[in-house]
Amino acid sequence: MSTHKETFHRKLEGAWILFSVLTLLSILVGTVIEIAPMFLVKSNIPTISTVKPLTPLELAGRDIYQREGCVNCHSQMVRPFRDELERYGEYGKPGESVYDHPFLWGSKRTGPDLSRVGGKYPNLWHVRHMENPRSTSPRSLMPNYYWLLEYDLNLSSLSAHLSGLRTLGVPYSDREVSNAVSLAKEQAKVIADDVAANGGPKGLANKEIVAVVAYLQRLGKDLKATPTASVSGSTNNGGS
């Protein structure tokens, strides 16, 4: 019996193609069994009750933020170290970026971490800072982004963007998807009116800068929000 097993084993080792295929299959099956539960079991995904998806305008601002390469110089992940906690605030948590596709944690800090910048400065400060960073931060190394005050905000694909994110599990409602453009314009007007009322440039409601400001003003605010009884299926569409 022992000899028969040894002979079979030798034959199997000799059939190297078959042996390789069987080995590969066993690795793939094991990998699927190990990884699949992470995607299929909802409780494995860390969530925070106050974290909501971005509003349509904030989402548009996030797209511009990525387009301009802001993530190359600014991280969005406060590490749990004393110096970072004292400078930036509460450390970052996985549940904060559960609706981010892709996440923008970053690893480069030519500029400060921005994950807690929401509400730290008024809207006008962000407008001035993007137009000419030295006007608000004299020693800043950041380049000017004056064109954000000149380029018209393109919202034509916003509804499709929300719809696509919903297929990935972001809980946007039918109303938000179908009315994405009008919701974005409403929030843009609130921000533009606030900037103008405080002595800033007028006529920014349809410019890219308001979307960027909306996005920056949202960062870190969800952790400070008061939990509500119902936390799914809607977003905070108020002005920043």
Distance of CA 56 to the CA centre of its chain: 13
Alpha-helix residue ranges (DSSP H) falling in 98-207? 123-131, 158-167, 174-178, 180-197
- pLDDT of the residue at 7: 78
Task: Tell whether the model's pLDDT for residue 198 goes beyond 70.
Answer: yes
Task: Tell whether the model's pLDDT for residue 98 goes beyond 70.
Answer: yes
Cα(33)–Cα(117) distance, integer angstroms: 40
pLDDT band with cut points at 50, 70 and 90 for residue 63: very high
pLDDT in tens, 117-151: 999 999 999 999 999 999 999 999 999 999 999 99
> Residue 95 carries which side chain, given as an amino acid letter?
G
pLDDT in tens, 208-231: 999 999 999 999 999 888 776 443
pLDDT in tens, 162-186: 999 999 999 999 999 999 999 999 9
Structural tokens at position 77: 């992940």
Is the Cα torsion angle 59, 160, 41, 32 positive or negative in sign? Answer: negative
pLDDT band with cut points at 50, 70 and 90 for residue 18: confident
Whole-structure pTM value: 0.80
Please state, in angstroms and as integers, the Cα–Cα distance from residue 56 to each residue in 38, 59, 133, 186, following that order.
29, 5, 26, 10
Between 16 and 126, the more confident residue is 126
Cα(130)–Cα(151) distance, integer angstroms: 13
